[in-house]
């Protein structure tokens, strides 16, 4: 039976606590809003009013708060109370630079700090599903691995670079935001054309956009812009979308900026390349064939 502290009692942190409690672990919980921590006592957790008291006598500490500032404020309160060598694992989505600073701070304090953000829903935290990323010293990860593996369906160690998991978490959330914003534009165009969003969404039961990530995305990352869908032709289609939206009095939020980016790349001579050439600047000139000609 392990003794674990969870700092935070949001939806995902609460799911983790429920899972630990159902497995018979002793769990200490603290949350800025104490009522949320006390609500977890019905599962067998012990709520604390002071985070420094919550981390006393535990074998590992897990943190899931809102941002860099909240994690830094927490460390201001608890760092000197954490026993030397205690595994302290932050699951918060935070900045790479903030993560590096906390690694340095905890190293000076003799704390075994690891960053392990997640792609998990609240239900996945209860079921032990989803994806957990981790980066930091290998020996430290290997020490934490058995505990982390019980928490998720896919534990992915990214290596010793301390801020790498933070970066990859941002990559994933960035794509989620782009997809959601793109869907919002699709539904706005559908509205303008007199088609209900729910009906428009039926397209994606036949046409699977995930193929774009799996196939074109891989080629883009490798600098392979041999055309399957010319940028110039894609720009024509974007023009049709924007014209249809304007004709029906709806405003697109994302597509106009994409059109401007396409125009700039076509002006640079990339019109005959695959639409994936929009990623050219991320790869550097040495990896991207010249535009004109």
Measure the CA–CA gap between 30 and 47, rounded to whole angstroms. Answer: 6
Range 71-97 burial, b when 16+ CB lie within 10 A, else e: beebbeebbeebeeebbbbbbbbbebe
Q: Are 22 and 45 in contact (CB under 8 A)?
A: no
The reply to whether domains 3-162 and 168-287 share a CATH topology is: no
CA–CA dist 220, 262 (Å, integer): 15
Order of strands, edge to edge, in the sheet holding 3-7? Answer: 46-48, 26-30, 3-7, 60-63, 87-90, 112-115
Confidence of residue 283 (pLDDT cuts 50, 70, 90): confident
Percent residues over pLDDT 70 in the chain? 97
Average the pLDDT over 258-282 and give the result. 96
pLDDT digits over 41-73, tens only? 999 999 999 999 999 999 999 999 999 999 999
Instruction: Grade residue 151 by pLDDT with cuts at 50, 70 and 90.
Output: very high
- The answer to whether 102 and 75 are in contact (CB under 8 A) is yes
99-124 pLDDT, tens per residue?
999 999 999 999 999 999 999 999 99
Annotation: CATH topology of 3-162: Rossmann fold (3.40.50)
Sort strands 118-119 and 131-134 into parallel, antiparallel or unpaired. antiparallel
- Is residue 282's pLDDT more than 70? yes
Fold of 168-287: 1.10.1040
> What is d(CA 148, CA 89) in angstroms, rounded to the nearest whole number?
9
Residue 229: what are its φ and ψ, rounded to 5°?
-155, 95
DSSP 215: I
Domain ranges of the chain: 3-162, 168-287
pTM of the complete model:
0.93
CB atoms under 10 Å from CB of 229, counted, come to 13
The average pLDDT across 145-167 equals 98
Per-residue pLDDT of 232-269, as tens digits, reads 999 999 999 999 999 999 999 999 999 999 999 999 99
Residue 218 pLDDT exceeds 50:
yes
Predicted pLDDT of residue 198: 97
- Band (202; pLDDT cuts 50, 70, 90): very high
**Comparing 166 with 286, which gets the higher pLDDT?**
166
Structure-derived torsion over alpha carbons of residues 142, 91, 165, 220, reported in degrees to the nearest 10: 130
Average pLDDT in the 66-86 region?
A: 96
pLDDT tens-digit series, residues 180-192 = 999 999 999 999 9
Instruction: Give residue 289's pLDDT.
Output: 61
Q: What is the pLDDT of residue 288?
A: 60
Determine the pLDDT at residue 293: 41
């Amino acid at each position: 039976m392990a003794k674990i502290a969870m700092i935070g009692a949001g939806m995902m942190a609460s799911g983790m606590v429920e899972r630990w409690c159902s497995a018979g672990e002793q769990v200490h919980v603290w949350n800025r809003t104490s009522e949320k921590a006390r609500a977890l006592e019905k599962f067998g957790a012990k709520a604390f009013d002071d985070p420094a008291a919550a981390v006393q006598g535990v074998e590992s500490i897990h943190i899931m708060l809102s941002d860099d500032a909240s994690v830094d404020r927490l460390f201001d309160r608890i760092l000197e109370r954490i026993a030397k060598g205690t595994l302290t694992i932050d699951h918060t989505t935070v900045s790479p630079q903030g993560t590096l600073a906390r690694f340095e701070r905890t190293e000076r304090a003799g704390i075994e700090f690891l960053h392990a953000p997640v792609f998990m829903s609240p239900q996945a935290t209860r079921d032990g599903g989803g994806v957990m990323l981790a980066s930091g010293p290998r020996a430290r990860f290997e020490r934490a691995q058995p505990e982390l593996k019980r928490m998720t369906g896919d534990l992915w160690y990214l290596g010793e670079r301390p801020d790498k998991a933070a970066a990859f978490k941002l990559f994933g959330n960035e794509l989620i935001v782009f997809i959601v914003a793109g869907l919002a534009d699709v539904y706005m165009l559908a509205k303008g054309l007199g088609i209900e969003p729910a009906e428009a969404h039926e397209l994606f039961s036949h046409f699977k956009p995930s193929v774009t990530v799996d196939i074109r995305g891989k080629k883009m990352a490798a600098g392979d812009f041999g055309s399957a869908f010319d940028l110039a032709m894609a720009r024509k289609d974007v023009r049709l979308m924007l014209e249809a939206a304007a004709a029906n009095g709806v405003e697109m939020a994302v597509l106009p900026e994409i059109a401007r980016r396409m125009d700039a790349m076509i002006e640079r001579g990339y019109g005959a390349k695959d639409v994936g050439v929009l990623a050219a600047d991320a790869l550097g000139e040495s990896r991207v064939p010249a535009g004109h000609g």
